Structure 1
Amino acid sequence: MTAPVVLVAYASRNGGTAEIARWIGDALEQEGAGVDVLPAAGVRDLHGYTAVVLGSGLYAGHWLREAVRFARRHRKALGSIPVWLFSSGPLDASAAERELPPQPGVRRIADGIDAVEHETFGGRLEPGARGLVARMILSQGKGGDFRDRDQVTAWARRIAATAAVVRPQRI
């Protein structure tokens, strides 16, 4: 059996979600999967991929436009292969302490493409972040890095364990 070729596509405004995508890709590779980690906006075709992991940073409870467009543009192809979704965003430890349900818009995307699972990871907001709201949050002292690499890696390993087998039951 050949190793699955997994696409990890992401939308990231300030780089934190892109780094989570790379962590996922690294963990999948360590488990024997072939992996491409790419910005969602640059993916034109899903031909050759046996599974997709799609993620976005959350801003005001919404995914970035590039991730939403990716899900819409590739909806038919995504419906025929296993898809896992992730969001990054909470600027506190909540995502590491308990399972957080997807935001309503993300839930609609998950349902529309029959996603296997969705996971929310903590976010990162550090000085120099783009956007007025980001700068306001930072000025209130509420920034920081709340991502948990061990949590991300464990989730990616669960994906690797199922990506090569029959499609798991959806969320």
Structure 2
Amino acid sequence: MKIVPQRELPALSQKTATGAALAGCLEWGSFSLADTARAEKALEPLGLGSRLGQRRTEEATGWWVFIPSLGSRQAALKKAAELKSLAVNDYFIVQEEGEFRWALSLGVFRSEEAAQARLAALRDQGVRTAQVGPRETVVPKVWLQVKGVDAALESRLKDIARQIEGSELRSCP
């Protein structure tokens, strides 16, 4: 018989003093800074308290959904007001010099499929002038981390994660 030090045992087989298996860590994301509050609100019923944390990253994106340049700040603000009237609140007006100045960005995505899904959702909301195009940029993202996850909590987290399209629930790095 070989005695193995506890530190060498796999985490899932370790036991606490009460005999229960040690719980793991899951992270859910990634979310834009604007979407993080909505995701945190979805987790509120779980009463996670100090077990909930954030991990901030930067992700390279390759596609965006946008309304092409409107030529002036005033025209862009008018279009922004139209978006608000359609309950579209996740956008920003591009102000940097260049061909996209005064365009409205409606989201940046890693895949064309995700961008097309966002475009379809916007079309359902009544947005008709948006389009998908390639865009290489780095955007800040947030992963919500939940520590002390047991099987029951993992099941509830999976149910919540399914409610936000494009999100992923995975083990913490």
Q: Taking structure 2 as the reference length, what is the TM-score of the superposition?
A: 0.27
Bigger strand share: 2
Structure index of larger Rg? 2
Instruction: Give the TM-score normalised by structure 1.
Output: 0.27
